A and B are shown apart, each in its own frame.
Chain A
Amino acid sequence: MAAPSTAGLGRRLRAWLPRIMPVRWSRYNPSYLEPEVKTESYQKPLEELTEEEREQMELKAVRPIKAAPPSLSSSVFSDPMVSKFTNMMMKSGNKVLARSLMSQTLEAIKRKQLEKYHKAPENEKETIECNPYVIFHQALKNCQPIIGLSNITRGGKTYQVPVPLTDNRKRFLAMKWLITECRENKHRRTMMPEKLSQELLLAFNNEGPVIKKKHVLHKMAEANRAYAHFRWW
């Protein structure tokens, strides 16, 4: 059972080595598609799908699909944003430590929110958000800048030109700012989870140094509006 499929796969996979080796390459043939892990998307009946989804389904039936990476899982506890953040926090490949720090952070957030919840009067109890994942997502969304600056050289001088950012770049910048902020501006004795949970709660309420950094970037972009026409893409 394993022999014919692996032999065919090996030939197909080995046959994929482009003539000129590019610097950024992958072991998969470019015709391989990304895997879809969530179970809800497979339980939808046929009639509810839109035109594009139907085309996607037909394409998926014909093309081969990449293997799911080890950080992706169909369980309710795996979140792609949280895994991305964990990977960015990781140092020298120590995923175990990064994962434990992340879970301690989420636990710390939950504890702080529960404390606040039990202390608050009856009418305010509904406004307090206790789910750490919701807080994490909202905080990241609040930290994302809308517009960025890029260096463009014209006539010898380098200008900072305001430029629209892609979704990926926004998410990356928000996460990077949070992590650098927590690593540098803290007292020597505070632990990372504690500081991170503090920063996340502040970002959730649109306060804190990361939000300030985002506003500073926006102001710089607004100030350099005059150079916006330098952008050619």
Chain B
Amino acid sequence: TLRLIFTTTAVQRKNVGASGPEKYTEAFIKKQIEEFNLGKRHLANMMGEDPETFTQEDIDRAIAYLFPSGLFDKRARPMMKHPTEIFPEQRKIQWGEDGRPFHFLFYTGKQSYYSLMHDTYEKLLNVQKHQDQLIAQDLPLQREKRNLAGSRWLTKIELEEMLLEKVSDDDYSRFIQLLQKLVALPCAEIEEKYIQKFSKEVPAQLQKVVIEPLQYDERGVAFSTGEGKRKTASATAIVYDNGTGKITVNGIDILHYFPVLQDREQLLFPFQFLGRIGKHDMVCTVSGGGRSAQAGAIRLASAKALRSFVTEKEVEFMRQAGLLTVDPRVKERKKPGQEGPRRKFTWKKR
């Protein structure tokens, strides 16, 4: 006979976290989409706009007007977006009614990743077979090189979104290595379509920056301004044309302001690179930072100002020489439990 042992309600209640994150059924998502569309039309009516031509931007503006919120995190504010953006894509149940999984690699744990690796390797073998056939028939191998510079591979996050499962750093690097191996083979054009699924276009850098035109002051001399920052120092430089190569910092000549040779070398670097040493005059103001930081800030400011005087090709050369990039290196913060940013406290045995 079985005796009823005293149990508490806590034990009888189901363990909440055991089943994993909430699963959204297809019916649920469909209902959400219908509700969203209906709500969109209601909102359009409320705002007095036309329900047919109510775009997502209009929805955002309407919600920001009806429910103003001062919360700092934009993701915490009230939002009304299409359900596919709010509910993350989840995989449907991977096994049938009898409990048997559909995919043959289910029990590896990372089925989509391993099936992807298998597919890519199959393509690699195909390419090699094709290559062997061409060699057997004594035909020349095609040597058209893909333009590597204009495209980049998918990032790890994009790959995770594509496969709908987590990918570790190691797995991701292995996949990229396999793709590179595939692309490096001579006859990889056959699998071009497959490779394009995993590569993205990268636009050229130069088109992003707008170069200002020259300004003219009262005497008719052309000048242009530039601003630069380095570490805590910020500088503004005004470069005049038809000059003798005089440079003034905060009203003081550079020979007196920068007694160290290295700083003066840095100031003259952009001019020397373009070969225009005696042709320009410069007046700069700088504040903050130390000696070397101020020199770096003025260098960046003068390089930015010189862009207006020079052809586009030379601007590209300046960029490739590292003159136009803001130096992101700053002082590293001190961490708790350590004496400095890297130095740890003296280790004492007892």
B320 near A65 with CB under 8 A, answer yes
B265 near A75 with CB under 8 A, answer yes
Which of the residues A8, A36, A62 comes within 8 Å of B150, measured between beta carbons?
A62
Chain A residue at minimum C-beta to C-beta distance from B268 = A75
B149 near A67 with CB under 8 A, answer no
B326 near A67 with CB under 8 A, answer yes
Q: Is B262 an interface residue (CB 8 A)?
A: yes
B265 near A61 with CB under 8 A, answer no
Q: Is A131 an interface residue (CB 8 A)?
A: no
Chain B residues with CB under 8 Å of A62's CB are 149-150, 202-205
From known contacts A55-B149, A58-B147, A73-B266, infer whether A64 and B273 are also in contact, taking CB-CB under 8 Å.
no
B328 near A61 with CB under 8 A, answer no
Which of the residues B147, B149, B210, B325 comes within 8 Å of A65, measured between beta carbons?
B325
Q: Is B10 an interface residue (CB 8 A)?
A: no
Chain A residues with CB under 8 Å of B304's CB are 1-2
Interface residues on A, range: 35 or more
Chain A residue at minimum C-beta to C-beta distance from B266 = A70
Chain A residues with CB under 8 Å of B272's CB are 73-75
**In the complex the two chains form, what is the Cα distance from A61 to B316 in whole Å?**
8
Chain A residues with CB under 8 Å of B321's CB are 35-37, 42, 68, 74
Chain A residues with CB under 8 Å of B326's CB are 6, 9, 67
Q: Is B64 an interface residue (CB 8 A)?
A: no
Q: Is A191 an interface residue (CB 8 A)?
A: no
Chain A residues with CB under 8 Å of B322's CB are 35, 37, 65-68, 72
Interface residues of B in 196-239 (CB under 8 A from A): 202-206, 208-210, 212, 227, 229
Quote the shortest CB–CB distance from A142 to chain B (angstroms). 29
Which of the residues B147, B212, B269 comes within 8 Å of A73, measured between beta carbons?
B269
A36 near B320 with CB under 8 A, answer yes
**In the complex the two chains form, what is the Cα distance from A39 to B202 in whole Å?**
27
B265 near A58 with CB under 8 A, answer no
**In the complex the two chains form, what is the Cα distance from A144 to B300 in whole Å?**
38
Chain A residues with CB under 8 Å of B295's CB are 70
Chain B residue at minimum C-beta to C-beta distance from A64 = B205
B320 near A60 with CB under 8 A, answer yes
Q: Is B260 an interface residue (CB 8 A)?
A: yes
A67 near B325 with CB under 8 A, answer yes
27 A-B residue pairs with Cβ-Cβ distance under 8 Å, sorted by A, are A1-B210, A5-B209, A28-B328, A35-B320, A35-B321, A37-B273, A39-B273, A42-B317, A55-B148, A61-B149, A61-B205, A61-B206, A62-B203, A65-B325, A67-B322, A67-B323, A67-B325, A67-B326, A68-B321, A68-B322, A70-B262, A73-B265, A74-B269, A75-B269, A75-B272, A77-B265, A78-B265
| A residues apposed to B, CB below 8 Å | 1-2, 4-6, 8-9, 13, 27-28, 35-37, 39, 42, 55, 58-68, 70-75, 77-78, 95-96, 99
By Cβ-Cβ distance, the 6 closest A-B pairs, closest first, are A35-B322, A68-B322, A58-B149, A67-B327, A67-B325, A27-B328
